[in-house]
Amino acid sequence: MSDSAQRLLDLIAKMKTASHAFQVENSRADKAPLWKSFDPLAKQMGLKNYADLRDHFLALCANLREQVSLVDLKRESVRQSWLATIDEVSSVFDASNAALVTNAAFSSCFADVNLGRIEAISERLETEGAVEAPKEKLEEAFAAIREAVEELESSGKIQPQFSRLFNHYLQQMEISLKQHDDFGENMFWSLYKHTFATFVQLHPVISGLDNNKAIWEKVWAAASKMHYGLTGLSLAANVVTLAPAVTALLGN
């Protein structure tokens, strides 16, 4: 099992390796300006484009920042140092770095001292038990939430906009599973909770359907899988997020 810090280290390593694997305007990508190399770099890594790489990278940083904010540390100065390091690493996508040569930007943002601190964060997160669920558990959760959506849609009485929304969430979760090895579980569980929240939003409608009992059984089966993603330091934050949804469904 991995954690957000290790995921970030792995992604940085892949970015650095990929920058040596292709050319931009007859020169190696790491010798080209960052703004010219980012889009082909993302595609070299199997992503759609620059925005796809940026969004996933910054999501990892945001999740790691949240975990560092919650971890119990004796010295607050260590926390501030770790948070500053995450900010510095994420600044590779700042406009101020766009004109820098790719290698120079990477050397600055991904300096050895920064990578060393992220490694220290990873070690602390593992100590705290803030590790990811195995991919098999995510696939199990995905199957459960998909069954709930299919049961809901079998009623034939759901408004088209909600049907499209559910299908969008399912498609994005499927994509996040395919990208799990690079980006971990954070995006998957975010989409999962949005899907669950949409069921809550439709609570009055679902309660009036002939198959409402079957729907709620599958929704609760899917909800029971969420504990796979509510491990370690993210537990408190997720309980707060999910409390209104759980309260609403308890009234069913």
- Gyration radius (Cα) of the chain, Å: 21
| Contact in structure between 214 and 174 (CB atoms under 8 Å) | no
- Tell me what pLDDT residue 252 has: 52
| Contact in structure between 28 and 104 (CB atoms under 8 Å) | no
- Tell me what pLDDT residue 239 has: 42
The one-digit pLDDT tens for each residue of the chain (252 residues) are 578 899 999 999 999 999 999 888 888 888 999 999 999 999 999 888 999 999 989 988 998 998 898 888 888 999 999 999 999 999 999 999 999 999 999 999 999 999 999 999 999 988 877 677 788 999 999 999 999 999 999 999 888 999 999 999 999 999 889 888 777 787 888 889 889 889 988 988 998 999 999 999 999 889 888 877 754 434 434 444 444 554 455 455
- Tell me what pLDDT residue 162 has: 92
- Tell me what pLDDT residue 203 has: 87
Cβ atoms within 10 A of the Cβ of 160, count? 7
Closest Cα partner for 45 from 26, 21, 24? Answer: 21
Question: What residue spans define the domains of the chain?
Answer: 4-128, 135-250
- Tell me what pLDDT residue 125 has: 86
